[in-house]
């Protein structure tokens, strides 16, 4: 059972990316249900001004993401990033995510897009974004990268 939760805990601890100090970890309430909804998520404040969004915890990759499809069950209207929040195709973060999940079938010329294919045959694709996060402690961290899902099947 511990092996099932290990990826989730690892993702939540890596998410903060805070300096190594005595308070460099955070605990987030994990929502969702793998059998009912097929996913886990945490609610975080993203953007400026900060608004609550469900950040999906993907236990099959190193990418956490927001769902930006209309009709998604989210605590706030659909996330719409500003153009300057798109991670460029040639950025080190883009190279890192592609090493983890593989190259998308049709790479975009200027922005970092990705595709993740799962063992059950489902898949997800979207773009890599960076934006400001406000954590439960009240601290903020600009430029944390995450995926914005355009399609999930």
The whole-chain average pLDDT of the chain stands at 74
Q: For residue 37, what pLDDT is reported?
A: 65
pLDDT digits (tens, 9 = 90+) for 9-62: 434 434 444 444 445 667 778 887 767 766 778 888 888 888 888 888 777 777
- 86, 127 Cβ separation under 8 angstroms: yes
Q: Kindly report whether the global pTM for this prediction surpasses the value 0.85.
A: no
Answer with the residue of higher pLDDT: 6 or 67: 67
Burial of 129 (0-12, 13-18, 19+ CB in 10 A): buried
């Amino acid at each position: 059972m511990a092996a099932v939760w290990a990826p989730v805990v690892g993702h939540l601890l890596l998410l903060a990316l805070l300096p190594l100090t005595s308070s460099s970890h955070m605990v987030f309430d994990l929502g969702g249900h793998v059998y009912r909804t097929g996913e886990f998520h945490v609610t975080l404040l993203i953007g400026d001004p900060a608004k609550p969004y469900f950040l999906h915890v993907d236990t099959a990759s190193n990418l956490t993401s927001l769902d930006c499809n209309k009709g998604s069950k989210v605590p706030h209207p659909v996330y719409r990033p500003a153009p300057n929040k798109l991670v460029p195709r040639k950025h080190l973060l883009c190279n890192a995510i592609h090493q983890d999940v593989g190259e998308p079938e049709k790479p975009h010329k200027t922005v970092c897009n990705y595709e993740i294919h799962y063992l059950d045959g489902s898949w997800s694709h979207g773009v890599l974004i960076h934006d400001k996060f406000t954590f439960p402690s009240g601290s903020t961290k600009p430029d944390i990268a995450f995926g914005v899902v355009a399609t999930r099947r």
